């Protein structure tokens, strides 16, 4: 296939693209070409410049230098329509769908002349033909809000195909899929390339890249670090290109847990089937599953935002009666939130203020008065102990990088010495260095005796870090498995809802 592709015409050419954001050189003279019928993998860690490059291709950002050429024609910079009209379609990692509109409406949005009279029916026939040809089954009249994550991705791909895209760009498309859904996606991509479409596949998962791509382009710190024909390279080579010299994967020895600190027995909450779970001291319990299958509800349940609707919850053997976030905090539950920008921090507050969000009323209140000197000392201690790079505690937290923000949250939580810790997607969007730091701190907390629930969509993270693994699907929780007793494929089947004993 790569031989065929090598001879085919170049459909997309990025030439010498550079883009600077303030002090950060996000793209540094990046060049890249894509041929007809070819799948090129764009590899790179977070912050390597992949997203910026794609935003430039789509006219969302203006490049400082360089040009974009599609089917031999230069694209005018800064016009989002230009790339779309030239036949480039993008499937973002975070879907850009209007949840309250139907599949049909989402697909045809922006494709028809605005000042014409046309209802949803005109687009229907073409959409069903495309669904059939590319193996993308979705109910056309369903509201997007009612679709599964895999189905939503299919809608995104259909959106691009409906616009006659000849080039598909997929940004981390498998991050939200079960391994089986990912395989179906690969089948769709093969069908597409067989029809002469070309694909850019953005990823940092090497095994997928090896499986689907013809050629790999690796970005590191805004530059092209290397390029290779997939068949002629190895995972190790690619990994080295991606992370440079700092390839130091954490090798974690599993531990056998201590006594259960938290016990759920047939506990339910909105979005959760009755579930049973033990979180043991000195253990990392991994929760695998595609996001939106009840992980948020489970995190809320343990974290106190939800009270159990039925069933029992015990902490250190004592049954929990009334339950709230405040009570959970008092009971020693620490929480690293899934979304550090929207729920974890107050963007316009200073670092100092952000460190006190959960403890101002317990640790720092002197009657109705807030003991600011004590809060400031606390903030200084966290900034120092957790290596938060900042201009000082009085800086607004919105100006911090994701990694430093997460370190501050980590400090805020771990300084309370939690008995139970919920780490919800703790490294999402972080760069390699920060990931290693966060994982190291979680392991330290485990070794110090904390019972940790690690929620992640990244199976590698789950299988690499957890001592015990549960899988979640459709609000159900699988029984626990020791790390190493299930293959990723077996976990994947459970993520897709198979192998659950109770039929409820």
Partner 1 sequence: MTELVDILLQASFWAAAIRIASPLIFATLGELICERAGVLNLGIEGIMVIGAFAGWVAVYGGLPLWWGVGVAFLAGAAFGLLHAVLTVPFGLSQHVVGLGVTLLATSTSYFAYRLILPEVTSPPKIVPFEPLAVPGLSAIPFLGEALFTQTALTYAAFLSVGAVAFVLWRTPLGLALRAVGENPAAVEAQGLSVTALRIGAVVAGSGLMAVGGAFLTLSAFSSFFFEMVSGRGWICIALVVFGAWKPGKALLGALLFAAFDALQIRLQQTPIGAVVPYQVFLMLPYLLSILALILMSRRAEVPAALMLAYNKGER
Partner 2 sequence: MRLEPIAHPSLVRQAGLPVAAVAATVAVAAALAALAGADPFAVLGQILTGAAGSKFALLETLNRATPLIFTGLAVAVAFRARLWNIGAEAQLYAGAIVAVLLGTGAVGAPLVLPLSALAAMAAGAALLLGPVALKVRFGVDEVVTTLLFNFIMLLFVSFLLEGPMMDPMGMGWPKSAALIPDARLPRIVEGLRLHWGFALALGAAVIVWLIQTRSTLGFEMRAVGANLRAARFAGMPVNAILLKTALLSGGLAALAGWSEVAGLKGHLSQDLSPGFGYTGIIVAMLALLHPLGVIVSALFVAGIFVGSDAMSRAAGVPTYIADMLLAVALLFMVLAILLTRFRVVRG
Cβ distance to partner 1 smaller for residue 96 or 487: 96
Cβ distance to partner 1 smaller for residue 96 or 250: 96
Distance CA 363, CA 378 (A): 10
State which of residues 118, 235, 389, 398 lies at the interface with partner 2 (CB under 8 A): 398
Q: What share of the chain is helix, strand, coil (3-state, %, to 5)?
A: 35, 25, 40
Q: Residue 342 interacts with partner 1 (CB under 8 A)?
A: no
Helix-then-strand count for the chain, H and E: 17, 23
Distance CA 177, CA 180 (A): 8
State which of residues 65, 74, 194, 361 lies at the interface with partner 2 (CB under 8 A): 361
State which of residues 9, 65, 74, 78 lies at the interface with partner 2 (CB under 8 A): 78
Q: Residue 139 interacts with partner 1 (CB under 8 A)?
A: no
Q: Residue 372 interacts with partner 2 (CB under 8 A)?
A: yes
Report the 10 Å Cβ neighbour count for 254.
Answer: 14
> Using CB distances below 5 to 8 A depending on partner kind, what does residue 360 bind out of partner 1, partner 2, none?
partner 2
> Using CB distances below 5 to 8 A depending on partner kind, what does residue 77 bind out of partner 1, partner 2, none?
partner 2
Nearest CA to 443 out of 283, 258, 301 is that of: 283
| Pairing relationship of beta strands 333-336 and 73-74 according to DSSP bridges | unpaired
Cβ distance to partner 1 smaller for residue 95 or 186: 95
Give, rounded to a whole angstrom, the gap between the first and last alpha carbons of the chain.
46
CB of 173 to partner 1, least distance (A): 15
Number of residues counted as binding partner 1 (CB under 8 A): 31
Q: What is the DSSP letter of 343?
A: I
| Pairing relationship of beta strands 215-220 and 198-203 according to DSSP bridges | unpaired
5, containing H or E segment: helix 2-7
> Using CB distances below 5 to 8 A depending on partner kind, what does residue 305 bind out of partner 1, partner 2, none?
partner 2
Q: Residue 373 interacts with partner 2 (CB under 8 A)?
A: no
Q: Pattern of binders to partner 1 over 16-55, x per CB under 8 A? A: ---------------------------------------x
Q: Pattern of binders to partner 1 over 347-386, x per CB under 8 A? A: ----------------------------------------
Distance CA 194, CA 49 (A): 29
**Cβ-Cβ contacts under 8 Å for 132 (sequence gap 6 or more):** none
Distance CA 39, CA 199 (A): 5
Q: Residue 481 interacts with partner 2 (CB under 8 A)?
A: no
Nearest CA to 127 out of 110, 151, 104 is that of: 104
Check: CB of residue 410 under 8 Å from CB of residue 357. no
Q: Contacts with partner 1 in 77-116 (CB under 8 A)?
A: 80-81, 84-85, 90, 92, 94, 96-101, 105-106, 108-116
Q: Pattern of binders to partner 1 over 412-451, x per CB under 8 A? A: ----------------------------------------
> Using CB distances below 5 to 8 A depending on partner kind, what does residue 363 bind out of partner 1, partner 2, none?
none
Cβ distance to partner 2 smaller for residue 174 or 355: 355
Check: CB of residue 189 under 8 Å from CB of residue 38. no
Find the DSSP H helices in 263-364. 295-303, 325-330, 351-355
Q: Residue 501 interacts with partner 1 (CB under 8 A)?
A: no
Query: Tokens for 377?
Result: 């000392």
Check: CB of residue 95 under 8 Å from CB of residue 156. yes
> Using CB distances below 5 to 8 A depending on partner kind, what does residue 81 bind out of partner 2, partner 1, none?
partner 1
State which of residues 27, 61, 297, 420 lies at the interface with partner 1 (CB under 8 A): 61
CB of 52 to partner 2, least distance (A): 12
CB of 261 to partner 1, least distance (A): 36
Q: Contacts with partner 1 in 155-214 (CB under 8 A)?
A: 159
Cβ distance to partner 1 smaller for residue 97 or 313: 97
3-state secondary structure at position 470: strand
State which of residues 278, 353, 431, 457 lies at the interface with partner 2 (CB under 8 A): 353
Check: CB of residue 238 under 8 Å from CB of residue 228. yes
State which of residues 44, 222, 257, 344 lies at the interface with partner 2 (CB under 8 A): 344
Q: Residue 201 interacts with partner 2 (CB under 8 A)?
A: no
CB of 6 to partner 2, least distance (A): 35
402, containing H or E segment: helix 402-414
Q: Residue 368 interacts with partner 2 (CB under 8 A)?
A: yes
> Using CB distances below 5 to 8 A depending on partner kind, what does residue 3 bind out of partner 1, partner 2, none?
none
Check: CB of residue 283 under 8 Å from CB of residue 496. no
454, containing H or E segment: strand 451-455
Helix axes 179-194, 149-162, angle to 10 degrees: 10
CB of 96 to partner 1, least distance (A): 4
**Cβ-Cβ contacts under 8 Å for 418 (sequence gap 6 or more):** 332, 333, 334, 445, 450
Binding site for partner 2 (CB under 8 A): 22, 59-62, 77-78, 304-305, 324-326, 328-329, 335, 337, 342-349, 353, 356-358, 360-361, 364-365, 368-370, 372, 398-399
Q: Which residues bind partner 1 (CB under 8 A)?
A: 55, 60-61, 80-81, 84-85, 90, 92, 94, 96-101, 105-106, 108-119, 159
């Amino acid at each position: 296939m790569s031989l065929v592709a090598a001879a085919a015409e170049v459909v997309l050419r990025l030439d010498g693209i550079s883009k600077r954001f303030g002090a950060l050189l996000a793209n540094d003279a990046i060049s890249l070409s894509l041929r007809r019928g070819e799948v090129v993998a764009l590899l790179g860690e977070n912050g390597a410049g992949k997203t910026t490059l794609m935003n430039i291709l789509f006219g969302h950002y203006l490049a400082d230098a360089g040009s974009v050429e599609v089917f031999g024609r230069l694209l005018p910079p800064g016009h989002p329509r230009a790339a779309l009209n030239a036949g480039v379609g993008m499937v973002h990692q975070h879907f850009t769908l209007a949840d309250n509109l139907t599949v049909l409406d989402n697909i045809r949005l922006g494709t028809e002349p605005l000042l014409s009279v046309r209802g949803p029916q005109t687009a229907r026939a073409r959409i069903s033909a495309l669904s059939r040809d590319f193996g993308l089954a979705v109910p056309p009249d369903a509201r997007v809000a009612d679709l599964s994550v895999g189905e939503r991705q299919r809608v995104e791909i259909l959106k691009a195909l409906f616009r006659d895209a000849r080039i598909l760009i997929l940004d981390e498309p498998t991050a939200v899929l079960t391994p089986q859904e990912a395989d179906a996606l690969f089948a769709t991509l093969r069908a597409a390339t067989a029809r002469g479409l070309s694909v850019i596949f953005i990823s940092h998962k090497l095994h997928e890249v090896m499986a689907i791509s013809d050629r790999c382009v690796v970005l590191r710190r805004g530059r092209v670090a290397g390029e290779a024909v997939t068949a002629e390279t190895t995972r190790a080579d690619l990994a080295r290109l991606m992370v440079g010299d700092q390839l130091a994967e954490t090798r974690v020895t599993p531990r056998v847990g201590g006594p259960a600190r938290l016990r759920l027995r047939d506990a339910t909450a909105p979005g959760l089937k009755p579930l049973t779970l033990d979180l043991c001291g000195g253990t990392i319990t991994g929760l695998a599953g595609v996001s939106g299958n009840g992980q948020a509800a489970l995190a809320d349940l343990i974290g106190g935002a939800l009270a159990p609707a039925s069933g029992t919850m015990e902490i250190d053997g004592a049954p929990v009666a009334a339950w709230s976030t405040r009570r959970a905090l008092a009971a020693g539950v620490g929480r690293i939130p899934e979304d550090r920008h929207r729920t974890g921090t107050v963007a316009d507050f200073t670092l100092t203020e952000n460190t006190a969000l959960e403890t101002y009323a317990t640790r720092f209140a002197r009657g109705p008065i807030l003991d600011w000197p004590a809060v400031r000392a606390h903030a200084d201690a966290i900034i120092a102990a957790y290596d938060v790079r900042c201009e000082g505690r009085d800086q607004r937290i919105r100006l911090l990088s994701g990694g430093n923000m997460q370190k501050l949250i980590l400090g805020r939580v771990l300084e309370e010495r939690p008995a139970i810790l919920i780490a919800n997607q703790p490294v999402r969007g972080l760069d390699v260095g920060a990931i290693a730091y966060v994982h190291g701190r979680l392991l330290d907390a485990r070794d110090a005796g904390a019972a940790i629930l690690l929620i992640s969509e990244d199976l590698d993270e789950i299988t690499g870090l957890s001592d015990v693994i549960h899988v979640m699907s459709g609000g159900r929780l699988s029984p626990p498995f020791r790390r190493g007793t299930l293959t990723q494929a077996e976990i994947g089947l459970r993520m897709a809802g198979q192998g659950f004993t109770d039929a409820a």
